[in-house]
Amino acid sequence: MPRNAESTAFRSALEVIRGVEPRVADAIGAELADQRESLKLIASENYASPATLLAMGNWFSDKYAEGTIGRRFYAGCQNVDTVEALAAEHARELFGASHAYVQPHSGIDANLVAFWAILADRVEAPALQRAQARHVNDLTEADWFALRRELGNQRMLGMSLDAGGHLTHGFRPNISGKMFDQRSYGTDPVTGLVDYDRVAEAAREFRPLVLVAGYSAYPRKINFRIMREIADSVGATFMVDMAHFAGLVAGKVFAGDFDPVPHAHIVTSTTHKSLRGPRGGLVLCGPELADQVDRGCPMVLGGPLPHVMAAKAVALAEARRPDFAGYARQIVDNAQALAEGLLRRGARLVTGGTDNHLVLIDVTGYGLTGRQAEQALLDSGIVTNRNAVPQDPNGAWYTSGIRIGTPALTTRGLGTAEMDGTAELIHTVLSQTSAGVGPDGTASKAKYVLDPAVADKVSRQASELLSGFPLYPDVELG
């Protein structure tokens, strides 16, 4: 492919957009500029390839395709069938799964599909059998009443939010916390690690229908073999949400007991984050749940997004290339080097380090809340997100932590040699920031004080660090 093909493609697209709404074209260009100049350390973000991005902007966006491959509710879906089949094939081969469902629009959608598939498989009732046999629109109010009675109040056991779990694992404001009678397992209050004996004890006491593993802010591996044994001991379906670390599974960095696919009954994921694809979700399962999973549309999902499924096929094909394993290994090496650099400078890290792609800094050691630290870092050209730590005294809004991750910087080509400099920039900002005072003269959890000269200096140093690792080097818009 000619080196200027990517520039031509994106420049032409922006010219077309500019002819209709120039402000949108300007915002797209500004976003690329911002991402090029910022030290992106949000653990859930990455940079998709130009091929993946371009695969989303095409005529597939114009097509409705409810149903599944070969069984659509709309005519003329043969090309959608092709890209969905390709995406599913790449997912199966990449993860070693017998079945893949690539329609979910997001990780939350993927989890909803999994929850309903488990409920439909495990809860037996005449009303449920009728629902499975008929189209959802044919169900009577009596059928729905019976379904709600039979499916409601089933039990789920998942990792607590402050221990690093995700809001879709039973957090009360989320639909998962309303669908299920939920209980959480935490981490050891001293080490911050999952205590499998305590998880097993909680499972014996609670007797969940679903045991969920997976995390969004837990910086260590999980032993999925042990978790499956716990699930089996109480007759629970074992579900793993690997949205954050799917790239590490795809790259075989997480293998054996730490690869969820051979151990879980059902696995969900996003396709962005460490997998470096488009924003979307997928579900992997064995044949026993495949039929229920494939009912995701219309039971849970609206119409599939064929243009995003096309992009998933491209990204999953990229992840099957040999160099992706090296990329996944480098993500972890970079995260560990970043953690070591922070520890040398006196930072307090949850669990004392990392085994995966993320590091969780307890910023109370700097006298700050997570919200203060997040904004001070952003002012200095470092993009992170605040995050709760175990037993967080500041709650889920202000928090006491900052979550950082290395997938995006690794995509840009930064290695372990650059992680120490990154740690220095983070430490400089946090150590030079102090808590501000509210209007009433009391300490504020949101306001902070940072010398603008320090923020400007760090921002320039971050730009210098990134200058040797250009983002989308073959894309020039101006």
Q: What is the pLDDT of residues 370-411, one digit of tens each?
A: 999 999 999 999 999 999 999 899 988 999 999 999 999 999
Which one, of 271, 177, 170, lies nearest residue 213 by Cα? 170
pLDDT of residue 149: 64
Q: Mark out the alpha helices in 134-237 (DSSP H runs).
A: 141-151, 175-179, 196-206, 224-233
Beta strands in 271-346, from DSSP E residues, in sequence order: 281-285
What average pLDDT does the segment 429-442 reach?
90
- The answer to whether 186 and 162 have CB atoms below 8 angstroms apart is yes
- For residue 35, is pLDDT > 50? yes
Beta strands in 178-298, from DSSP E residues, in sequence order: 180-185, 210-214, 237-241, 266-270, 281-285
Mean pLDDT, rounded, of the chain: 91
Neighbours of 463 (CB within 10 A): 14
Higher-confidence residue of 134 and 5: namely 5
User: In this predicted structure, which of 37-46, 132-141, 352-361 has the lowest mean pLDDT?
Assistant: 132-141
**Whole-angstrom Cα distance, residue 460 to residue 454?**
10
pLDDT > 90: percent of the chain:
75
**Whole-angstrom Cα distance, residue 114 to residue 283?**
7
Which residues touch 18 (CB under 8 Å, ≥6 apart)? 25
Which one, of 202, 191, 281, lies nearest residue 242 by Cα? 281
pLDDT of residue 134: 57
Query: Residues of 385-417 as b/e, b for ≥16 C-beta within 10 angstroms?
Result: bbbbbbebebeeebbbbbbbbbbbbbbbebebe
**Chain length of the chain:** 478
What tokens does 173 get?
A: 């404001």
Structural domains in the chain, sorted by start: 59-319 (3.40.640.10), 325-467 (3.90.1150.10)
Query: Residues of 317-347 as b/e, b for ≥16 C-beta within 10 angstroms?
Result: bbbeeeebeebbebbbbbbbbbbbbbeeeeb
**Whole-angstrom Cα distance, residue 102 to residue 111?**
12
Active site residues: 64, 66, 241, 270, 273, 279
Which amino acid is present at 326?
G
- For residue 444, is pLDDT > 80? yes
Residue located via tokens 């260590």: 220
Beta bridge partners of 71: 68
- The answer to whether 374 and 384 have CB atoms below 8 angstroms apart is yes
165 φ, ψ (degrees, to nearest 5): -70, 180
What average pLDDT does the segment 50-66 reach?
93
- For residue 143, is pLDDT > 70? no
237-247 pLDDT tens trace: 999 999 999 99
Beta bridge partners of 405: 358
How would you classify residue 139: left for phi > 0, otherwise alpha for psi between -120 and 50, otherwise beta?
Answer: beta
Q: What is the largest CA-CA distance in the chain?
A: 70
Which amino acid is present at 213?
A
What's the pTM?
A: 0.91
- For residue 1, is pLDDT > 60? no
pLDDT band at 179 (very low <50, low <70, confident <90, very high): confident
- For residue 132, is pLDDT > 70? no
pLDDT band at 125 (very low <50, low <70, confident <90, very high): low
pLDDT of residue 42: 96
Which one, of 357, 329, 337, 360, lies nearest residue 424 by Cα? 337
